[in-house]
Amino acid sequence: MLKLSKESMLGLILIALFLLMAAIAPGFLDSYNLSNMMFQLPELGILTLGMMVVIITAGIDLSITFTAAFAGVLAAWSMSHHYPVAVAILIGIGAALLCGLLNGFFIAIIGVSPILVTLGSMVLFEGVILTITKGNAISGFPESFSEIGNMSVGPIPLPIIIFLALAGLTGLLLNRTIWGRSVYKVGINPVAAQFSGLSVKKVLLGVYLFSAFMASIAAIIMISRYNSAKVDLGSSYLLLTVSAAVLGGTEISGGYGKVLGTVYAVAIFQVLSNGLNLLGIPRTVVDILMGVILIAVLTLNFFSAKMNHNKSLKVSPR
Amino acid sequence: MKKFSGILVSVVIVFALILSACGSKKNDGASSSSPSASSKAPASQAASGKKLKIAIVPKLIGIPYFNASETGAKKAGDDLGVEVIYTGPTQADAAQQVKVIEDLISQKVDVIAVAPNDPASLTPVLKRAKEQGIKIMDWDTQADPSVVELSVQQIDNEVFGRTITDKLVEKMGTDSGEYAIVTGGLSAANLNTWIDWAQKQAKEKYPNLKLVTDKIASDEKQQVAYQKTLDLLKAYPNLKGIMGFSTVAPLGAAQAVKEKGLQDKVAVVGTALPTDSKPFLDDGSLDSALLWDPGALGYLTVALAKDLAEGKMPTDGQEVANVGKITVKPDNKTVIMGPPTEFTKENAGNYKF
């Protein structure tokens, strides 16, 4: 029997969905719509890459979207105060890394559970942003900055190039570096990792810094695309990032997760939501369908894992 | 095993999609007969006999206010023979609203009318829509004036503020005496504009009205408005009237007045939704709720969108069926729906928001 990995299965589903939508959704294959999808995908995609790495360590980063909003607001603030674009971007990234450091400190060094720390920092960051902006949007950026989110290299939008580059980078980091391999080990069993000589603290700190970095890049693309930054920038992405990471095959209990699966999962979400919108299906129903599909896939994953497990149990006594 | 589960997954997804596709066809009725044709046809063809596609994008879907405007917009679509697509973000997130509009551009609609969550964030995507030949309007809340061709506003802020003062005097039964203002938040721009006009009207027309203290913030919470009003009633026993701004402040004020049994001594007027305020209107603690009818606003937006797509601009004093006389501001693109609607004990039950 042909063995397919979780990831290639997702790839096949993606292709099937794409073909299906091309057949039934009017205007799906239009060049405008295709580039539209390539512009929409990277924001969620980059955030999801950050979330995936956190989930591999059996953690979660609920503050990821507000970290992004914080970075976005600070970068926007810098630009509205006439700092050069490059400086503003660095300020944004720096701000996000500070957020990541804060999360990482409490989770890795103090040892508080990730869901509690990031829930707290989510509210904290939101409060700080509200204090800075008083709920208003910051807008009016230089023309050169809006190029980042709106430019295309030939027919390919720049944001998707950034996304693919970051996906490649994440893959390299996870598979080819000591830190990356340690991330998986910490996810499987932090105690064993500790005793085998890994510095679990450093690994975890790195993980939250990484997710914050991804959040800041997503933020830069978002504020460039929307020409404005506000406290709720991208807040609707929070649970989507978790869903996409898990749909992409990342184990919520840690230890497993691949960049390729995540990229496929994000693309599946994108094709689904775009196609369903083109079909004129009400957005509330789209949300329901996404939920149903997510639960169905996860349930199937669970059962197939269980059956594999049973099979190996039966085989082993021989 | 994996293969089996993969097939199952695909089957589930395909099934779900087919189901939903069928569902959507039923909804569209006649209009769905030519979806593939419409995708190939250029937007300009719409003018020559094809059904116009008008997209109305609220700030948020699934809240009573915007559900009421959806009903109005859909009704206008049926009356006027245009296809109305009413779709918006499920969270009040600017990023989601941008995506909704991007998808609408892909659907090749003729007009997009949007109520922006964050006006600046929509400017780039609205410009792109314009480049694709789509007419752009805003409704309910203003978008960047440089990209919209028409702006549909529910009320004139000046008229609204002044009307509230007039209404308070009417309900107090006298134009002299002490009054107080309870507002949602001190930094809410629209509330402040209304309050400024209300105070101006009081100064100009009713010089014997005395504002006892600065406007009081209630943090957009009924409970806080209630507490603050109790304090007010204690501190100023001669208080004759209270104005409540934001949709919950009048309710909190009315609740306090009712608890103290002062229904006949203290008049409460304010900006509130009819369904929420009905109990207070019924027992007389809230004397008058003023707002506009979001259903009529949705209707008007679709009606004007259709005109815009056909190249007709609205004119001052134009009579719109089911809405009434509209006002057009001197800039020739800002439309005011009309005077505010008053909700009273008698009519509050007729509204669904």
Ranked by mean pLDDT, the top range of A235-239, B110-114, B117-121 is B110-114
Residue A314's pLDDT is what? Answer: 66
Tell me which of B269, B291, B313 is where a domain ends: B291
Task: Tell whether B191 and B88 lie within a shared domain.
Answer: no
What percent of chain B shows pLDDT beyond 70?
A: 86
Task: Tell whether B285 and B162 lie within a shared domain.
Answer: yes
Q: Count up the domains in chain B and report the number.
A: 2
Which residue did the predictor score with more confidence, B188 or B152?
Answer: B152
Task: Tell whether B224 and B139 lie within a shared domain.
Answer: no
Tell me which of B291, B325, B348 is where a domain ends: B291
What percent of chain B shows pLDDT beyond 90?
A: 62
| B1/A135 touch (CB, cutoff 8 Å), yes or no | no
Task: Tell whether B280 and B316 lie within a shared domain.
Answer: no
Task: Tell whether B68 and B140 lie within a shared domain.
Answer: yes
Q: A6-306 has which fold?
A: ABC transporter involved in vitamin B12 uptake, BtuC (1.10.3470)
- The full set of domain ranges for chain A reads 6-306
Choose the weakest-confidence range: A130-144, A201-215, B31-45, B153-167: B31-45
Domain extent, residue B203, equals 157-291
- What does chain A look like in DSSP terms, one character per residue? -----HHHHHHHHHHHHHHHHHHHSTTTT-HHHHHHHHHHHHHHHHHHHHHHHHHHTT---TTHHHHHHHHHHHHHHHHHTT--HHHHHHHHHHHHHHHHHHHHIIIIII---HHHHHHHHHHHHHHHHHHHHTTPPEE---HHHHHHHH-EETTEEHHHHHHHHHHHHHHHHHHHSHHHHHHHHHHH-HHHHHHTT--HHHHHHHHHHHHHHHHHHHHHHHHHHHTEE-TTTTGGGHHHHHHHHHHTT--TTSS---HHHHHHHHHHHHHHHHHHHHTT--HHHHHHHHHHHHHHHHHHHHHHHHHHHHHHHHHTT-
Tell me which of B291, B308, B327 is where a domain ends: B291
Residue A139's pLDDT is what? Answer: 85
| A308/B1 touch (CB, cutoff 8 Å), yes or no | yes
Please give the residue of chain A at the shortest CA–CA distance from B57.
Answer: A283
> How far is the alpha carbon of A111 from chain B, nearest alpha carbon, in Å?
33
How far from A81 is each of A84, A88, A139, A224, CA to CA, in Å? 9, 10, 11, 16
| B87/A283 touch (CB, cutoff 8 Å), yes or no | yes
Task: Tell whether B57 and B116 lie within a shared domain.
Answer: yes
pTM (2 decimals)?
0.78
Best B17, B85, B125 member to test A by mutation, with max A CBs in 10 Å, is B17
Q: Is residue B314 part of a domain?
A: yes
pLDDT at B64 over 90: no
The mean pLDDT value for A163-183 works out to: 96
Task: Tell whether B142 and B177 lie within a shared domain.
Answer: no
Task: Tell whether B193 and B207 lie within a shared domain.
Answer: yes
For residue A235, the chain B residues in CB contact (below 8 A) are 91, 93
> How far is the alpha carbon of A101 from chain B, nearest alpha carbon, in Å?
26
The mean pLDDT value for B209-226 works out to: 91
Q: In B, residues 50-89, which contact A (CB 8 Å cutoff)?
A: 61-62, 85, 87-89
Residue A315's pLDDT is what? Answer: 59
Q: In A, residues 12-51, which contact B (CB 8 Å cutoff)?
A: 12-13, 16-17, 20, 24, 26-27, 30, 32-33, 36, 39-40, 43
Residue B10's pLDDT is what? Answer: 52
For A227-259, the pLDDT digits (tens) are 889 888 888 899 899 999 999 989 888 999 999
The mean pLDDT value for B257-267 works out to: 93
> How far is the alpha carbon of A146 from chain B, nearest alpha carbon, in Å?
9
Supply the mean pLDDT for chain A: 91
Q: Is residue B9 part of a domain?
A: no
- Confidence tier at B44 by pLDDT (50, 70, 90): very low
CATH code, domain with B272? 3.40.50.2300
Residue A256's pLDDT is what? Answer: 92
Q: Is residue B321 part of a domain?
A: yes
Query: For residues B253 and B231, what is the distance between their CA atoms, to the nearest angstrom?
Result: 11
For residue B118, the chain A residues in CB contact (below 8 A) are 137, 226, 228, 230
For residue B17, the chain A residues in CB contact (below 8 A) are 20, 24, 276
Task: Tell whether B226 and B322 lie within a shared domain.
Answer: no
Task: Tell whether B164 and B284 lie within a shared domain.
Answer: yes
The mean pLDDT value for A189-203 works out to: 92
ipTM above 0.85, yes or no: no
Task: Tell whether B55 and B137 lie within a shared domain.
Answer: yes
| A24/B103 touch (CB, cutoff 8 Å), yes or no | no
Task: Tell whether B133 and B71 lie within a shared domain.
Answer: yes
